[in-house]
Amino acid sequence: MPCVISIVDVHVIKRNLQELVNRNYLIGYRFEMRVVAFFRKLGYFVVRSPKSKGLTDVTAIPPFIKTGWFNQTLGIQAKKNGYVKPTERAELQACKNKWQMTILIAWSDNRKLKFRTLDGEEITHQALDILGILNKKD
């Protein structure tokens, strides 16, 4: 017996697929904005590249400290689950070498924002807090 799909079924399937895509996009967007807010709170100048059109999802430039102090620009790839495909990892490595920036992977571990380098070394929040903002008590 041939499988018959009505035009109504096609529209329902299409709508469900669009909702799933939109849901995944929203999860990624919200996570990127969480990363942006974290770095802005620390005094960084932050630029988000929507829809993965830039080198990285988020670029963060640290604030001026003093003359002679070397500030390293951060290129941050925001991944809610922390997984970076090998091809994307190779692109990030090339970006790191070409633009002389530190590349970090941001991910959520039990709702806690975490960072690591391309080599897998975990970076603490205090290491990114060059102005000591996290240690200040209001």
Paired tokens of 52: 């993965």
24 occurs within a structural domain: yes
112 occurs within a structural domain: yes
135 occurs within a structural domain: no
Contacts of 125 (CB under 8 A, 6+ apart): 38, 113, 115, 134
Give the chain's domain count.
1
* Banded model confidence at residue 113, pLDDT cuts 50, 70, 90: very high
Please give the residue range of the domain that contains residue 93. Answer: 7-128
> Per-residue pLDDT for 72 more than 60?
yes
57 occurs within a structural domain: yes
> Per-residue pLDDT for 89 more than 60?
yes
Alpha-carbon dihedral of residues 118, 124, 128, 131, nearest 10 degrees? -170
CATH of the domain at 16: 3.40.1350.10
* Banded model confidence at residue 112, pLDDT cuts 50, 70, 90: very high
105 occurs within a structural domain: yes
Q: What is the mean pLDDT of residues 84-100?
A: 89
45 occurs within a structural domain: yes
43 occurs within a structural domain: yes
Nearest to 103 by CA among 78, 126, 83: 78
Q: What's the predicted TM-score (pTM) here?
A: 0.78
